[in-house]
């Protein structure tokens, strides 16, 4: 049988998804007497709650209960979070509201209509407080305080020094610096949060069905908040999730909120989030201000970097924040050989929606200033940006490359990838055309971006938020454990259980491909169980598809679990054939002796023996075929005393070249061509790979051109519908050229690396570089996003050179 | 959002002032005003029904007349709260006597909205605010003319 891994096999998920047989959260039934929930939300960004009068709402026919923060608080402690600031985060406001959209009360009713209508009858008296939304102002000593007991708005603050940073700056020929602002944006899964929660007092146990991303790690946070043992909180994730991109990890506060309302009301409770709620009150990426400066030699070589990154985590810092600041810690210098690095990392809290996971998590915020600065270096040194990149990019012979902050880039050939982008995008030719077009008053530009795509997180990275002294007092965290279970029934068909809670990425397909290859059986004999149940799934600290875990870690666990099964079957066959297991081979459902293929034992018989004839098994072997493998990569040590950390398992590479034209009349940015080169090691399924790249790129272009969760200066949320929060749709997708290189990872057994997030990280800055390049004759620099026509228009209107230029041309 | 405007009233300044202070006139002139009750001197409680963009709903409001400088100037403070969100608006109104039968009214306003109205209606708000205010003064002018006919 030919190898399935590496071939563009059709997805096994698609038949059911395309014929309406997907099993999403809203497709599972509800127990009798389930109440539907509606949530009253704050209209104030910052206010004390003086009183809540629920009496009128309770009188509405069909209303079962109206529940406020004071009641919820009786059944839980604040959620824990990995920083020392004592922020008290409950899933509902207790005596103060801190962002528009924050839950204030929950109505449970016979149906959603009644529940929504009853919300209007709840009378809340607020006393408005001064809001704060600006990142830098929130750090000032006289800024309005969100959490009085914390004493400031700063939730986390750390500094890191790697190498000889000061020396690099003293010896630099140029110091080039700028401030960049990355906006707050989201990921917008088609399916919003969905939760069905039930409490049973006979067992004092909560069961929550939810389309929840990352069930294990945060399950512990939830159980702890509820003050119950882990096994009294059962979380069940359905087979299908309609997109997450990280955002659905933010469902956890709502899961706890509804679980407690179920307990109070004595019935099951269901809630499907609506789109306005999703935009205003689910979760989002951080907005970040970065001050970045580079020590640069005359040649364009960057010898040192200083970065001050201030992440806005919204009204409450909550798990897994402040991880956005640290997920990319090992790859802070990107694709460049920069040995000296200073980082100051701050997480601040303001009156905005709390943040959490989002595709690219921290990567787009990191690469926006870094790659913008690399282009600025070229501009100030009057060099071609491509030459600055060539001067700094990590060379092939340097792999495995150790970064300043402790990362180990496992494999790659960045120069080759970059040159492939230059060649594919016809860079030199474009530059020539650009010169001619400029003479005709046309505005063309080309942007380059090179990024390192980390995948599979070292669970120790989040503890970088703590000082080495703080870390010393608790259990060190390392590794990246991920489990898979492979079982065979007596007929020889296979069930595989994975814990990556796929939300559309096709994990079932790739898992089936791996099993088919290892056990030499057809893919259709493999059933992949993607549903996750914290009471019955193999427990690990796995976090769903967090940080592109499947290709690096999930697939490795499946691979080794399949090998455990294969090894057991070989032992059974070896025992029957009276040979050594190492002499055996497997092909087309038959186990045979390598040197004497006539001597064989069928796979089916070996499985049958394990189930039906256990007395014929080798001495000491257990009956049955049910193997779980826990995988962890060895290169994921805890952070050391110098804060060196290899925050991810594998590191892929993306090189983008994007060309744009800006319409002088409308200031609209049109992407002419988007070239993206990927090296994600060995590709497991090229069809799925390209789908992931298209999706990641659409999200990245959203960040570049359209998407922003906008607030006014007083903290009012302004983008509560798709009229104002623009998402790219099919017509907005430009021409995309994808090319692959495959430098296998020496870390993972299949040589694969994650790749679903690369362009989400690279596209915002690649487009910003292209637009800056286009507008460089007018002395316009892009230092924030999204690049809407309004924004570009204002920049052009402010540019004297452009205005003069326009007059001349008119 | 902010705005300003002016208009001329076909009445003398004293008479114009009188009409502006008349709570019955206020009730008639405020768009969507379903009830207006005096709760203390120069302070009223009102029920307003209003639709802004796709957000329709009721606001329980207080309307306060402050900084009264008869017959030249006063301040109108409106605070509303309801299902669709919150509205807070302050208007400054100045009357200038042109002659015995004509008065110029100048106004400035500053309004803020919160909650759902801001979330999904902010694009329309500027226009809506203008419309509500212009409607108020148009009706007021009519009221002045009507009452004149009666006297």
B-chain CB neighbours of A43 within 8 Å are 81, 85-86, 114-116
The answer to whether the beta carbons of residues A91 and A253 sit under 8 Å apart is yes
Beta bridge partners of B63: B44, B78
**pTM over cut 0.90:** yes
Beta-sheet pairing, A35-41 with A269-272: parallel
The answer to whether the beta carbons of residues A255 and A264 sit under 8 Å apart is no
Q: Which of B82, B83, B122 sits opposite A718 (nearest CB)?
A: B122
Taking residues A519-539, what's their average pLDDT?
93
A70 touching B, CB under 8 A? Answer: no
CA distance B57 to B48: 8
The full set of domain ranges for chain B reads: 2-143
The full set of domain ranges for chain A reads: 15-129+190-243+247-281, 287-460+638-809, 481-631
The answer to whether the beta carbons of residues A601 and A591 sit under 8 Å apart is yes
Which pLDDT score is estimated for A539?
87
Which pLDDT score is estimated for A789?
97
Beta bridge partners of A237: A532
A52 touching B, CB under 8 A? Answer: no
Confidence of residue B151 (pLDDT cuts 50, 70, 90): very low
Confidence of residue B88 (pLDDT cuts 50, 70, 90): confident
Judged by CB atoms closer than 8 Å, whether chains meet at B85 and A43 is answered as yes
Fold assignment, A287-460+638-809: Aldehyde Oxidoreductase; domain 4 (3.30.365)
Residue with tokens 């009830």: B35
DSSP, collapsed to helix, strand or coil, labels residue A94 as coil
- Tell me the pLDDT tens digit for each residue of A773-801: 999 999 999 999 999 999 999 999 999 99
Judged by CB atoms closer than 8 Å, whether chains meet at B86 and A44 is answered as yes
The class that CATH gives domain B2-143 is alpha beta
B-chain CB neighbours of A276 within 8 Å are 116, 119-120
Judged by CB atoms closer than 8 Å, whether chains meet at A276 and B120 is answered as yes
B-chain CB neighbours of A42 within 8 Å are 115
DSSP, collapsed to helix, strand or coil, labels residue A802 as helix
The answer to whether the beta carbons of residues A698 and A728 sit under 8 Å apart is yes
The answer to whether the beta carbons of residues A454 and A328 sit under 8 Å apart is yes
- For domain A15-129+190-243+247-281, say whether CATH 3.90.1170.50 is its number: yes
Taking residues A767-776, what's their average pLDDT?
98
User: Is the predicted pLDDT of residue A654 greater than 50, yes or no?
Assistant: yes
- Tell me the pLDDT tens digit for each residue of A703-733: 999 999 999 999 999 999 999 999 999 999 9
Which pLDDT score is estimated for A658?
98
> From the CA atom positions of chain A, what is the Rg in Å?
28
Neighbour tally for A504: CB within 10 Å: 22
Q: What tokens does A728 get?
A: 């790219």
DSSP, collapsed to helix, strand or coil, labels residue A575 as helix
Interface test with B, best of A39, A41, A43 (most B CBs within 10 A): A43
Higher pLDDT, A423 or B115: A423
DSSP state of A552: I
Taking residues A757-784, what's their average pLDDT?
97
Task: Work out the minimum CA distance from B79 to partner chain A, whole angstroms.
Answer: 13
Interface pTM, i.e. ipTM: 0.86
Confidence of residue A588 (pLDDT cuts 50, 70, 90): confident
Taking residues A553-571, what's their average pLDDT?
97
Higher pLDDT, A377 or B58: A377
* Mean pLDDT lowest among A169-183, A233-247, A770-784, B10-24: B10-24
The answer to whether the beta carbons of residues A702 and A727 sit under 8 Å apart is yes
User: Is the predicted pLDDT of residue A607 greater than 50, yes or no?
Assistant: yes
Which pLDDT score is estimated for A344?
98
User: Is the predicted pLDDT of residue A228 greater than 50, yes or no?
Assistant: yes
Residues 6+ positions from A53 with CB-CB distance below 8 Å: A122, A123, A124
- Tell me the pLDDT tens digit for each residue of A388-403: 999 999 999 999 999 9
Taking residues A358-386, what's their average pLDDT?
98
Q: What tokens does A170 get?
A: 């003293």
Q: Label residues A743-775 b or e (16+ Cβ within 10 Å = b).
A: bbbebbebbbbbbbbbbbbbbbbbbbbbbbbbb
Taking residues A188-195, what's their average pLDDT?
97
Cα A361 to chain centroid, rounded = 5
Nearest in space to A172 (alpha carbons), one of A305, A367, A292, A291: A305
Cα A583 to chain centroid, rounded = 44
- Tell me the pLDDT tens digit for each residue of A351-365: 999 999 999 999 999
DSSP state of B125: H
Check residue A589 and give left, alpha or beta (phi > 0: left; psi -120 to 50: alpha): left
Nearest in space to A361 (alpha carbons), one of A34, A139, A51, A647: A647
CA distance A103 to A101: 6
CA distance A361 to A711: 21
- Tell me the pLDDT tens digit for each residue of A240-271: 999 999 999 999 999 999 999 999 999 999 99
Average pLDDT, chain B: 87
Check residue A165 and give left, alpha or beta (phi > 0: left; psi -120 to 50: alpha): alpha
Judged by CB atoms closer than 8 Å, whether chains meet at A721 and B114 is answered as no
A434 touching B, CB under 8 A? Answer: no
CA distance B126 to A421: 47
CA distances from A758 to A402, A739, A762, A763 (A): 21, 13, 6, 8
Which pLDDT score is estimated for A1?
55
Which pLDDT score is estimated for B127?
82
Taking residues A625-654, what's their average pLDDT?
96
Residue with tokens 């709390």: A354
Judged by CB atoms closer than 8 Å, whether chains meet at A720 and B119 is answered as yes
Phi, psi angle pair for A784, to nearest 5° = -150, 175
End-to-end CA distance of chain B: 39
DSSP, collapsed to helix, strand or coil, labels residue A780 as coil
The answer to whether the beta carbons of residues A653 and A678 sit under 8 Å apart is yes
User: Is the predicted pLDDT of residue B19 greater than 50, yes or no?
Assistant: yes
A387 touching B, CB under 8 A? Answer: no
Which pLDDT score is estimated for B118?
87
Which pLDDT score is estimated for A404?
98
Residues 6+ positions from A301 with CB-CB distance below 8 Å: A391, A392
Confidence of residue B146 (pLDDT cuts 50, 70, 90): confident
Q: Which of A714, A718, A719 sits opposite B112 (nearest CB)?
A: A714
Average pLDDT, chain A: 96
Higher pLDDT, A216 or A484: A484
Phi, psi angle pair for A486, to nearest 5° = -120, 125
* Mean pLDDT lowest among A279-293, A492-506, A653-667, B2-16: B2-16
User: Is the predicted pLDDT of residue A92 greater than 60, yes or no?
Assistant: yes
CA distance A355 to A318: 8
Q: What tokens does A366 get?
A: 């990191």
* Mean pLDDT lowest among A333-342, A423-432, A596-605, B134-143: B134-143
Which pLDDT score is estimated for B2?
85
The answer to whether the beta carbons of residues B79 and B62 sit under 8 Å apart is yes
Nearest residue in chain A measured CA to CA from B54: A721
A-chain CB neighbours of B85 within 8 Å are 43
Judged by CB atoms closer than 8 Å, whether chains meet at A720 and B112 is answered as no
CA distance A157 to A150: 13
* Mean pLDDT lowest among A510-524, A664-678, B38-52: B38-52
CA distance A386 to A422: 8
A718 touching B, CB under 8 A? Answer: yes
Fold equal for A287-460+638-809 and A481-631: yes
* Mean pLDDT lowest among A35-39, A112-116, B8-12, B94-98: B8-12
The class that CATH gives domain A481-631 is alpha beta
Judged by CB atoms closer than 8 Å, whether chains meet at B113 and A716 is answered as yes
Nearest in space to A60 (alpha carbons), one of A108, A2, A6: A108
């Amino acid at each position: 049988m030919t190898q399935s891994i590496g071939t563009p096999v059709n997805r096994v998920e698609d038949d059911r998804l395309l014929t309406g047989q997907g099993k999403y959260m809203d497709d599972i039934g509800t127990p009798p007497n389930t109440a539907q929930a509606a949530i009253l939300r704050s209209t104030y960004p910052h206010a004390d709650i003086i009183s809540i009068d629920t009496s009128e709402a309770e009188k509405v026919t069909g209303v079962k209960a109206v529940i406020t923060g004071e009641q919820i608080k009786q059944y839980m402690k604040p959620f824990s979070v990995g920083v020392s600031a004592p922020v008290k985060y409950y899933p509902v406001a207790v005596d103060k509201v801190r962002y528009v959209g924050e839950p204030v009360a929950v109505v449970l009713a016979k149906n959603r209509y009644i529940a929504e209508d009853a919300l209007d009858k709840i009378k809340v008296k607020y006393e408005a407080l001064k809001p704060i939304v600006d990142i830098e102002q929130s750090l000032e000593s006289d800024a309005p305080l969100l959490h009085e007991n914390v004493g400031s708005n700063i939730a986390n603050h750390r500094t890191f020094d790697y190498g000889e940073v000061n020396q690099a700056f003293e010896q630099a020929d140029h110091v080039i610096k700028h401030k960049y602002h990355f906006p707050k944006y989201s990921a917008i899964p088609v399916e919003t949060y969905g939760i069905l929660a039930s409490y049973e007092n006979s067992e004092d146990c909560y069961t929550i069905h939810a389309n929840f991303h990352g069930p294990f790690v945060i399950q512990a946070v939830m159980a702890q908040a509820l003050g119950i043992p882990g096994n009294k909180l059962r979380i069940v994730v359905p087979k299908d999730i309609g997109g997450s991109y990280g955002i659905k990890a933010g469902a956890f506060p709502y899961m706890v909120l509804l679980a407690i309302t179920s307990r109070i009301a004595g019935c099951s409770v269901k809630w499907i989030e609506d789109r306005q709620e999703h935009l205003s009150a689910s979760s989002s990426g951080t907005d970040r201000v970065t001050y970045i400066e580079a020590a640069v030699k005359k040649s364009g070589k960057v010898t040192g970097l200083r970065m001050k990154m201030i992440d806005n985590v919204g009204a409450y810092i909550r798990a897994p924040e402040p991880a956005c600041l640290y997920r990319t810690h090992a790859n802070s210098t990107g694709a460049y050989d920069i040995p000296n690095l200073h980082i100051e990392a701050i997480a601040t809290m303001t009156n905005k929606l709390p943040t959490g996971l989002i595709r690219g998590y921290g990567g787009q915020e990191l690469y926006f200033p870094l790659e913008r600065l690399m282009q600025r270096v070229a501009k100030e040194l009057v060099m071609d940006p491509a030459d600055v990149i060539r001067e700094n990019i990590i060379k092939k012979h340097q792999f495995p490359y150790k970064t300043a902050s402790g990362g180990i880039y496992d494999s790659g050939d960045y120069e080759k990838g970059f040159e492939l982008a230059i060649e594919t995008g016809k860079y030199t030719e474009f530059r020539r055309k650009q010169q001619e077009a400029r003479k005709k008053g046309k505005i063309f530009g080309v942007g380059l971006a090179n990024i390192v795509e980390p995948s599979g997180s070292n669970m120790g990275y989040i503890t970088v938020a703590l000082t080495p002294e703080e870390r010393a007092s608790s259990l060190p965290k390392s590794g990246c454990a991920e489990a898979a279970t492979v079982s065979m029934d007596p007929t020889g068909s296979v069930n595989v259980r994975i814990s990556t809670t796929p939300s559309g990425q096709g994990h079932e397909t790739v898992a089936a491909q791996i099993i088919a290859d290892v056990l030499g059986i057809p893919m259709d004999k493999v059933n992949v169980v993607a549903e996750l149940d914290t009471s019955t799934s193999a427990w690990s600290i796995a976090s769903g598809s967090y940080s592109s875990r499947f290709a690096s870690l999930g697939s490795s666990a499946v691979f080794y679990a399949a090998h455990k099964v294969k090894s057991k079957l070989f032992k059974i066959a070896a025992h029957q054939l009276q040979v050594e297991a190492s002499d055996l081979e497997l092909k087309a459902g038959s186990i045979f002796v390598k040197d004497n293929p006539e001597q064989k034992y069928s796979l089916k018989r070996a499985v049958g023996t394990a189930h039906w004839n256990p007395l014929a098994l080798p001495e000491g072997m257990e009956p049955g075929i049910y193997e779980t493998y826990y995988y962890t990569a060895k290169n994921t040590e805890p952070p050391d005393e110098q804060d060196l950390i290899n925050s991810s398992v594998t590191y892929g590479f993306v090189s983008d070249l994007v060309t744009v034209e800006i319409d002088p009349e409308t200031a609209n940015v049109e992407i002419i061509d988007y070239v993206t080169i990927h090296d994600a090691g060995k590709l497991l399924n090229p069809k799925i790979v390209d789908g992931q790249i298209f999706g990641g790129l659409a999200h990245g272009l959203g960040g570049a051109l359209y998407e922003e969760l906008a607030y006014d200066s007083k903290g009012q949320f302004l983008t509560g519908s798709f009229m104002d929060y623009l998402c790219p749709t099919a017509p907005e997708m430009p021409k995309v050229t994808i090319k692959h290189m495959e430098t296998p990872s020496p870390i993972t057994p299949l040589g694969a690396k994650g790749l679903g997030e690369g362009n989400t990280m690279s596209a915002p800055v690649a487009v910003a570089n292209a637009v800056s390049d286009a507008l460089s004759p007018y002395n316009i620099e892009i230092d924030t996003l999204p690049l809407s026509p309004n924004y570009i228009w204002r920049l052009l209107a402010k540019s004297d050179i452009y205005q003069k230029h326009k007059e001349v041309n008119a | 959002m902010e705005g300003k405007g002016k208009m001329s009233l076909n009445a003398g300044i004293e008479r114009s002032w009188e009409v502006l202070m008349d709570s019955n006139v206020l009730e008639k002139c405020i768009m969507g005003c379903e009830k207006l009750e005096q709760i203390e001197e120069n302070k009223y409680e009102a029920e307003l029904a209003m639709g802004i963009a796709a957000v329709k709903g009721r606001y329980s409001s207080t309307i306060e007349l402050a900084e009264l400088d008869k017959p030249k100037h006063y301040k109108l403070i409106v605070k509303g709260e309801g299902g669709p969100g919150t509205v807070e608006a302050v208007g400054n109104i100045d009357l200038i006597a042109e002659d015995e039968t004509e008065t110029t009214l100048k106004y400035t306003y500053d309004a803020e909205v919160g909650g759902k109205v801001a979330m999904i209606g902010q694009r329309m708000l500027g226009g809506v605010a203008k419309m509500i205010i212009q409607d108020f003064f148009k009706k007021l002018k009519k009221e002045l003319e009507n009452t004149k006919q009666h006297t």
